[in-house]
């Protein structure tokens, strides 16, 4: 009977090698999960920055379409609003320029083009920054229409 007792006793429990292998597989899985979480957080932050830059460009484009005193004054300064900061401390730089598109026999200010550039630092890009570019056109009503 004691012989049978020794056989069954050796079949119970893990060996140290099995425990190390299971720990390694678990560590590999946790490392992969951690890397996936980091990539997801980085992509989320990049998308948030792109949304903020898009909002800054759209705000400027809408302001260009409205002839209010504030918007007119904004476009008369040095073509640059300077650095705009977010709550996360990211500096957005917004620049623009307007050009007239002249057509034969008409006032060159009737058709204008606005180019907007918004830049912000991005550590995951090779040059260290990301840039969003907008282009919008505006047509004015000629004076001879009488409006």
pTM of the model: 0.68
Other CB atoms within 10 A of residue 60 CB: 21
pLDDT of residue 21: 93
Q: Could you give the C-alpha distances from 44 to 4, 124, 127, in angstroms and in order?
A: 62, 13, 20
Counting Cβ atoms within 10 Å, is residue 4 exposed (0-12), middle (13-18) or buried (19+)?
A: exposed
**3-class DSSP state of 85:** strand
pLDDT of residue 111: 85
Of the candidates 111, 113, 120, 108, the residue with the CA atom closest to the CA atom of residue 96:
113
Q: Are 81 and 94 in contact (CB under 8 A)?
A: yes
**3-class DSSP state of 91:** strand
Of the candidates 49, 74, 40, 44, the residue with the CA atom closest to the CA atom of residue 60:
74
Q: Tokens representing 114?
A: 């606005």
Instruction: Give CA–CA dist 92/39, Å, rounded.
Output: 23
Along the chain (147 residues), what's the average pLDDT of each consecutive run of 10 residues?
A: 52 79 95 95 90 90 82 67 68 88 74 90 82 87 62
């Amino acid at each position: 009977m004691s012989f049978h007792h020794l056989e069954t006793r050796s079949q119970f429990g893990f060996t140290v090698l099995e425990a190390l292998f299971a720990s390694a597989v678990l560590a590999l899985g946790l490392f992969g999960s951690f890397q996936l979480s980091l990539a997801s957080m980085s992509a989320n932050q990049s998308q948030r920055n792109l949304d903020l830059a898009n909002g800054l460009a759209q705000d400027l484009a809408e302001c260009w379409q409205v002839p209010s005193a504030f918007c007119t004054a904004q476009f008369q300064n040095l073509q640059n609003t300077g650095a705009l900061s977010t709550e996360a401390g990211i500096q957005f730089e917004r620049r623009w320029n307007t050009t007239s598109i002249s057509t034969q026999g008409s006032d060159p200010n009737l058709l204008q083009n606005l180019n907007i550039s918004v830049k912000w630092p991005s550590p995951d890009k090779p040059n260290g920054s990301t840039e969003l570019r907008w282009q919008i056109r505006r047509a004015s009503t000629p004076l001879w229409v009488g409006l």
